[in-house]
Amino acid sequence: MSYERQIATRYLYVGRHERGTLIGAVMSLMVAGAGLGMLVLLGGGSAVGVIMFVLGMLSTAVFTLLAFMSVPTSVATFGVSLGVSALTVVLSVTSGFQDQFREKVLGVNAHVIIMKSSTDFAEYREVMDTARKIDSDVVAVQPFIFVEMLATTGKGRIAGVAIKGVDPDRVRGVLDLQKHMVAGSVDDLAKQPAEGELPPIILGKELARKLRLKAGDDVTVVVPMSNVDLETWRTTAAAPRTRRFRVVGIFYSGFDEYDRRLMYTSLAETQALLDRGDKVMGVELKVKDVDRADDIARKLKRRLGEPPFQVQDWYELNQNLFKALTMQKIALLIVLTLIIAVATVNVISAMVMMVTQKKREIAMLKSMGARSFDLGLVFAMVGTAIGAVGTVIGIGLGISTCYVVRAYGYPLDPKVYLIDKLPISVHPLEVVLVAIVTMVLCVGAALIPALKAASLRPVDGLRHE
């Protein structure tokens, strides 16, 4: 080991272990273990267990640092750790929101949608053939109708709903609705009702709760404005068109906007309800790689022509939502990076204090022939080591906190956040990015005291000796 590394190690390591700090580290680790045990035994449903685990891990880090490093160095290192752990947790939460919204959107929606600017989309079969042949990544295609209606149970309970008419034979290939079913099956939409039986319909869990419906119950769908002459805007003598359905399934996507309003029925039943003949609202596709949906949408635009057709991929349909999440993530990244930058100020102050305390040793080394570069390298290595230790501890704290909070399943108000649990998704690339940014800042911060030590003259350090 070179003498620079030996000196740097000696400046970092206090050379003794205080019994109190070691006891504190062990007790803190026991508290963290007890919190983790509560989470395991209670199946992740203990808020006390989460708090005990997080506080136990934080205090373990503090006592461990104090057991091996001086107080100023420990404070600087722990400041870096807190900044890194906070940035890791926040990035994981924002990534979790992005992943959850993407999963929910793709769970009950197709990857690419083709619609027509007019309401006479009767040539949808030709469009489906074109879509199947446009790219080898196209897995399945189906026509659909999406329309706003009213649903009632006839007991004073009524709700505005969105009914989606789908092809029962193709819906499994296009949508991942089946994996969200909590009662019944998507295949039940394909069953032809016998004479006197009601046609099948599937609805969201929150909508079923609002209307107090379960599988096997009946629900009446009302077509608003069906008794209004749209040319004169006069109401006819007839009542609005209605149709009764039998609830054969209930789905739960976890996305409140869908679970509270969406209903599925067969395309033929929806066409009969609207009384518009063999016409649809659009054609939707599923592709192998969702990241290629935009490329396939562009191919369809060129082939079909815009107008009269309008082709959109899943990201374009939800562009505002995902752009808002991305901007929020960038803003939080900037703010929390500033927290790490503030922590590096502690590194600078601790290192400058160390240089001031070691002026005599620096002067003696220089008088013995040590180069200014070598002495600057000593303190650069100390600052880098502080950043490295703080980064490792911070990432460990952040990742462990993420997994514990995810196991707990922190509840959210779905009316506000659209999903019912706090989503956390740890992306390794983001963790590596946090580590790189922190190390760059810490190395840059270490240069200031390193230059100060390198520029110190031996006569200044030995003047008062």
CB 316 within 8 A of CB 301: no
> For the segment 420-454, what is each residue's pLDDT rounded down to a tens digit?
778 888 888 888 988 888 888 888 888 877 777 77
Question: Which helix (H) or strand (E) segment is 150 a member of?
Answer: strand 138-152
DSSP strand pairing (309-313 vs 112-116): antiparallel
Rg of the chain over all Cα atoms, to the nearest angstrom = 32
pLDDT tens digits for the chain (465 residues)?
Answer: 466 666 666 666 666 667 777 788 888 888 888 877 777 776 656 677 778 888 888 888 888 888 877 777 888 888 888 888 888 888 888 888 888 777 777 767 788 888 887 667 888 888 888 888 888 788 888 898 888 888 888 777 888 888 988 888 888 888 888 888 888 888 888 888 777 788 899 998 889 888 888 888 888 888 876 544 444 445 554 567 788 899 999 998 877 778 888 899 988 888 888 887 888 888 888 888 888 888 888 888 888 877 788 888 888 777 777 787 788 778 877 877 777 777 777 777 777 777 777 677 777 776 777 677 777 777 788 888 888 888 899 999 889 888 888 877 777 777 666 677 788 888 888 889 888 888 888 888 888 777 777 777 766 655 555
What CA–CA distance (Å, rounded) separates 440 from 447?
11
Taking CB atoms within 8 Å and a gap of at least 24, the contacts of 182-189 are 182/250, 182/251, 182/252, 183/214, 183/215, 183/249, 183/250, 184/215, 184/247, 184/248, 184/249, 184/250, 185/248, 185/249, 186/249, 186/264, 188/248, 188/249, 189/248, 189/249, 189/264, 189/265, 189/266
Tokens of 25: 């580290």
pTM of the model: 0.71
Largest CA distance in the chain: 109
CA 162 – CA 261 distance, rounded (Å) = 6
Half-sphere exposure of residue 440, counting CA atoms within 13 Å on the CB side?
A: 7
Helices (H) and strands (E) in the chain, counts: 17, 12
CA dihedral 404, 206, 319, 291 (to 10 degrees): 60
Structure tokens at 301: 């635009």
Contact 59, 28 (CB under 8 A): yes
Tokens of 465: 């000796």
**Contact 183/215 with Cβ under 8 angstroms?**
yes
Q: What pLDDT does 237 receive?
A: 46
Single-letter amino acid code for the residue at 114 = I
Q: How far apart are CA 374 and CA 364, in angstroms?
A: 13
